[in-house]
Amino acid sequence: MTFLDWASLDASLGTIGLEQINAGLEPGEIAEHFMTNAIKLMRDYFWLHGRAALRQIGRTDRHGHMRRTLRWIRAHQMPVVSVRDIRREALGHCLDAEQTHDLLGRMAAAGWLRLEKTDTGGRPLERWQVNPKLFETESAESAQTAESPQRVFK
């Protein structure tokens, strides 16, 4: 930051950029305010972006489908969902019924959903109860928390 300041406009010399770099001596020390600003930049910007990028390493489409489904459920305040709801509405038919059922099974294993079967005399009706914690927090936004087994029904 010290060198950026040194290379920027200096009204007293009337020069900018390379002209100023050639016109003056390099800074010999780093002022405290430059160090403070560099620490803030690292802590408040680069560190957060770096952590977000590292969380995405090794993530696949299935993680994206899970995050997309969780965001859709929260946005529509759906306390109960079906395979059909998720397949058609949340994911726009990008998965078939079997893949959607597998996705919901992974979400149940992670604690976001719980399968409820209703006996109808024939094939049982399957509905997935949504963990109420999903509506209390923004924690389903990252790939890591989408698969977090810490989200359990009470």
Q: Where are the domains of the chain?
A: 2-55, 61-146
pLDDT score of 144: 46
Instruction: Please state whether the predicted TM-score (pTM) of the whole model is above 0.85.
Output: no
CATH 1.10.10.10 fits 61-146, yes or no: yes
Q: Which of 21-25, 93-97, 114-118 has the lowest mean pLDDT?
A: 21-25
The dihedral built from the CA positions of residue 95, 108, 51 and 39, taken in this order, carries a sign that is positive
92 by DSSP, 3-state: which? coil
